[in-house]
Amino acid sequence: MTTRKRTATAEERRTHRELREALDELVQHIRVVRRTLTSMPPHELERAQDRLEWLADEVWRLALGEDDGPP
């Protein structure tokens, strides 16, 4: 049995633009936190974690196709 990797078509990318943007923002945030982790004061680290959790929730919501935003 062979496994076929699914590749996103240009149409799929246009259709799921919000999800792609949210994923890009999540990845960018993770990269920034990773680079600055050792120099972050505890209050900034807590804020970064809160932002990470919010972004992950947003990605999850968009991936499920839920159109209404957070309450």
Determine the pLDDT at residue 70: 54
Q: How far apart are CA 70 and CA 30, in angstroms?
A: 21
Element at 61 (helix H, strand E): helix 42-63
* Assessment of whether the complete model's pTM goes beyond 0.75: no
The answer to whether 52 and 29 are in contact (CB under 8 A) is: yes
Write the CA distances from 70 to 16, 32, 48, 59, 61, integer angstroms. Answer: 18, 24, 19, 12, 9
- What pLDDT score does 15 carry? 72
Tens digit of each residue's pLDDT, the chain (71 residues): 455 556 666 665 567 899 999 999 999 999 999 999 999 999 999 999 999 999 999 999 999 987 655 55
